[in-house]
Amino acid sequence: MERWNWETGPIFWNAIVAREATYERMSVGILAARLCDLSWATDRQYCYVHYLEGCPNCRGFNLPRPYESEWRHYVRDHPLSETEERLIGCYRRRPYEARHGSLLRLQQEPPRTPPHFPARPPAA
Range of weakest confidence among 12-21, 61-70, 83-92, 97-106: 97-106
Distance, CA of 58 to CA of 65 (rounded, Å): 9
Let me know if residue 67 belongs to a domain.
yes
Query: Is the Cβ–Cβ distance between 88 and 35 less than 8 Å?
Result: yes
Cα diameter, the chain: 87
| Confidence check: pLDDT of 58 > 80 | yes
The mean per-residue pLDDT over the stretch 96-110 comes to 60
Distance, CA of 19 to CA of 26 (rounded, Å): 10
Mean pLDDT of the chain: 78
**Where residue 69 falls among pLDDT bands split at 50, 70, 90?**
very high
What pLDDT does 68 receive?
92
Beta carbons within 10 angstroms of residue 84's beta carbon: 19
Let me know if residue 43 belongs to a domain.
yes
Let me know if residue 76 belongs to a domain.
yes
Distance, CA of 59 to CA of 69 (rounded, Å): 20
**Nearest to 37, CA basis, from 22, 55, 62, 23:** 55
Distance, CA of 110 to CA of 19 (rounded, Å): 29
The mean per-residue pLDDT over the stretch 77-94 comes to 89
Let me know if residue 5 belongs to a domain.
no
Let me know if residue 47 belongs to a domain.
yes
SS3 63: coil
Let me know if residue 18 belongs to a domain.
no
Let me know if residue 59 belongs to a domain.
yes
**Nearest to 87, CA basis, from 60, 54, 47:** 47
Let me know if residue 68 belongs to a domain.
yes
**Where residue 77 falls among pLDDT bands split at 50, 70, 90?**
very high
As for how many domains the chain has, the answer is: 1
12-38 residue pLDDT tens: 778 888 888 777 766 788 888 999 999
Q: Give the pTM.
A: 0.59
Domain extent, residue 85, equals 28-99
